[in-house]
């Protein structure tokens, strides 16, 4: 071991005896592999509470030799007097009553008792010079043995694993509340969410945060978790992300987030977005359409998000920088986690005249400049921005080789909306046709518009979604995803999708977060 930037190493040496019991030889600490012997006072300052991930709460809290409960109680100040503790006297009194119960000296000789019978047998077995005699009492009484006989139980008829886990945590926290004149109270808890449903997780974490903040003595609680619920409620300043074999603190000053960003994220970073802390690749989107469509498109490209550990975070707004900057560091080491931001170019191509209900194409567009500016704004270190080529997701797909599938999805979404209206307006519900029927209808209509240029054709396809906003983008994306799932694409068709200029920003984002 070597000294790296004032790192202190602790070396613990031990061995096991023939029975498997751990025998501590010594503890060394210092800047190298040898160091100096760590004295008992120093070891006491380093004592921690440790809850392992696979907790057998029922067994740990049951009466048995060297039970965890007996160790907790034995370490508590209330039992620091050892065998002078009042419990020892109580058990001694109980022991005397037990002896008196079995005693037969005051009984008539013809009364049969357990102890008299045993001693009668013993007298027959023994010789006159070594007369054997027995007595019934508790085993040798000391505090350690008494504590090993104690169970900690819930006062309920049925105790599930979650309730027992909470009981176990509560027992361990007894040691955390011991006031220290030196050092800190430190607890290490692995996967605290074990067997706890989300609401129980929230209650436990809320209390632990309150306990840590209001403690009279210095206190620190280190938790590991795979729970999105816990990750969403712990303050961002207190989170540490482990990636690439390194620990990255998200505390203010370590990331490029501003103070206002931290307050914003405490309000809006809920469990639906906290999966970003556990991902191997992240895509940040601003709407439901991308959120619904991208996983299906990735599957068709052979880049499954599930298999590649990719999470999509739908921020539902343009506040994407507030999420992406979580992973942008102020200094080295930098995070290598690929983060993709997908955003619309938002250079409007056309509009619908309200009076004539006709589509008008708009002049003086500069999509290339807008794309450049947005990419410059959002990209930083491991965060890359991918901007649509012309306008919105729907418009660009309508310009692409998947225009027929998108138009079929719009027709299907329109029927779904009419079904919902029928439920409220007492109209006859429109039947949802087969996907193949919608594809045929879409192809027929597109062929009728074959004289239009690509932008005019695309504007007609997305007329009710983007221009008139009559149909929900989310419903269209859901139908579009359903159509893509049913379709089987050949290798050549996948290659066409990959080379399509209007789909390139989506394909590039998928490749980036999954690894090309």
Give the integer Cα–Cα distance in Å for 160 and 21: 32
Q: Regarding predicted confidence, which is higher, 160 or 513?
A: 513
Residue 345: pLDDT band with limits 50, 70, 90: very high
Interior/surface letters 449-481, b for 16+ CB within 10 angstroms, e for the rest? eeeeeebebbbbbbbbbbbeeebebebbbbbbb
Burial class (CB in 10 A: 0-12, 13-18, 19+), 348: middle
Residue 3 confidence (pLDDT): 40
Residue 255 confidence (pLDDT): 94
Residue 377: pLDDT band with limits 50, 70, 90: very high
Give the integer Cα–Cα distance in Å for 33 and 427: 81
Q: pLDDT tens-digit profile of 84-119?
A: 888 888 888 888 888 888 876 666 666 668 888 888
Residue 12 confidence (pLDDT): 66
Give the integer Cα–Cα distance in Å for 438 and 126: 101
Checking if the pLDDT of 319 tops 90, the result is no
Q: What is the CA radius of gyration of the chain?
A: 35
Per-state percent for the chain, helix, strand, coil, to nearest 5:
45, 15, 40
Give the integer Cα–Cα distance in Å for 507 and 498: 6
> What is the rounded average pLDDT of the residues 33-59?
75
Residue 302 confidence (pLDDT): 94
Give the integer Cα–Cα distance in Å for 395 and 74: 70
> What is the rounded average pLDDT of the residues 379-397?
95
Percent of the chain with pLDDT over 70: 87
Residue 427 confidence (pLDDT): 52
Residue 153 confidence (pLDDT): 85
Residue 79: pLDDT band with limits 50, 70, 90: confident
The whole-chain average pLDDT of the chain stands at 85
Q: pLDDT tens-digit profile of 149-208?
A: 888 888 875 678 888 888 888 888 888 777 665 677 888 989 888 888 889 889 988 888
Residue 21 confidence (pLDDT): 62
Q: How many helices (H) and strands (E) does the chain have?
A: 21, 14
Q: Of 27-31, 264-268, 396-400, which range is least confident?
A: 27-31
Residue 419 confidence (pLDDT): 64
Residue 422: pLDDT band with limits 50, 70, 90: very low
Checking if the pLDDT of 6 tops 60, the result is no
Q: Residue for token digits 């893509």?
A: 484
Order of strands across the sheet that contains 36-37: 9-16, 22-30, 36-37
DSSP E strands, 165-235? 185-190, 219-224
Please report, for residues 5, 20, 38, 42, 449, the alpha-carbon distance to residue 12 in angstroms, rounded to integers and kept in the order given: 22, 17, 10, 14, 78
Checking if the pLDDT of 510 tops 70, the result is yes
Three-state secondary structure readout of 104-119: CCCCCCCCCCHHHHHH
Residue 516 confidence (pLDDT): 67
Residue 218 confidence (pLDDT): 75
Q: Residue for token digits 């005051």?
A: 106
Q: Where are the domains of the chain?
A: 1-45, 82-145, 270-514
> What is the rounded average pLDDT of the residues 274-299?
94
Checking if the pLDDT of 494 tops 70, the result is yes
Question: pTM for the whole thing?
Answer: 0.79
């Amino acid at each position: 071991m070597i000294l790296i930037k004032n790192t202190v190493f602790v070396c613990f040496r031990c061995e096991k005896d023939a029975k498997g019991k751990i025998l501590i030889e010594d503890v060394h600490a210092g800047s190298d592999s040898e160091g100096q012997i760590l004295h008992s006072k120093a070891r006491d300052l380093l004592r921690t509470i440790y809850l392992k991930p696979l907790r057998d709460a029922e067994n740990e809290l049951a009466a048995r030799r060297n039970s965890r409960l007996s160790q907790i109680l034995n370490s508590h100040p209330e039992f620091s007097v050892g065998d002078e503790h009042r419990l020892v006297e109580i058990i001694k009194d109980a022991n005397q009553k037990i002896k008196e119960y079995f005693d037969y000296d005051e009984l008539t000789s013809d009364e049969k008792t357990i102890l008299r019978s045993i001693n009668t047998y013993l007298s027959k077995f023994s010789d006159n010079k070594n007369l054997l005699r027995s007595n019934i009492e508790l085993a040798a009484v000391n505090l350690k043995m008494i504590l090993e006989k104690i169970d900690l139980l819930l006062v309920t008829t049925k105790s599930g694993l979650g309730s027992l886990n909470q009981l176990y945590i509560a027992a361990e926290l007894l040691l955390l509340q011991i006031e220290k004149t030196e050092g800190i109270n430190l607890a290490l808890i692995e996967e605290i969410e074990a067997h706890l449903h989300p609401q129980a997780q929230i209650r436990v974490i809320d209390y632990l945060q309150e306990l840590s903040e209001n403690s009279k003595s210095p206190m620190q609680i280190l938790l590991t978790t795979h729970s999105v619920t816990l990750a969403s409620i712990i303050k961002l300043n207190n989170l540490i992300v482990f990636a690439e074999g390194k620990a990255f603190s998200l505390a203010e000053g370590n990331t490029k987030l501003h103070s206002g960003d931290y307050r914003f994220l405490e309000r809006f970073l809920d469990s639906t977005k906290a999966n970003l802390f556990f991902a191997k690749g992240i895509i940040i989107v601003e709407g439901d359409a991308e959120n619904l469509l991208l996983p299906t498109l990735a599957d068709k490209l052979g880049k499954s998000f599930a298999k590649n550990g990719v999470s999509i975070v739908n921020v539902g707004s343009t506040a994407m920088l507030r999420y992406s900057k979580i992973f942008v560091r102020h200094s080295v080491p930098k995070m290598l986690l690929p983060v993709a931001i997908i955003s619309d170019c938002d250079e409007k191509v056309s509009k619908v005249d309200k009076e004539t209900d006709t589509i008008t194409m708009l002049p003086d567009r500069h999509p290339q400049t807008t794309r450049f500016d947005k990419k410059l704004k959002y990209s930083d270190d491991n965060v890359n921005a991918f901007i649509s080529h012309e306008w919105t997701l729907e418009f660009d797909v309508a310009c692409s080789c998947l225009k027929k599938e998108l138009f079929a999805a719009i027709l299907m979404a329109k029927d779904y909306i009419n079904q919902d209206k029928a439920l409220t307006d007492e109209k006859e519900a429109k039947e949802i046709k087969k996907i193949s029927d919608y594809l045929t209808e879409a192809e027929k209509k597109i062929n009728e518009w074959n004289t239009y240029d690509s932008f005019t054709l695309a504007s007609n396809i997305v007329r009710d979604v983007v221009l008139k906003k009559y149909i929900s983008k989310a419903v269209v994306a859901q139908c579009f995803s359903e159509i893509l799932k049913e379709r089987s694409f050949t290798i050549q068709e996948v290659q066409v999708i990959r080379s399509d200029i209007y789909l390139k920003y989506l394909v590039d984002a998928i490749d980036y977060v999954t690894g090309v």
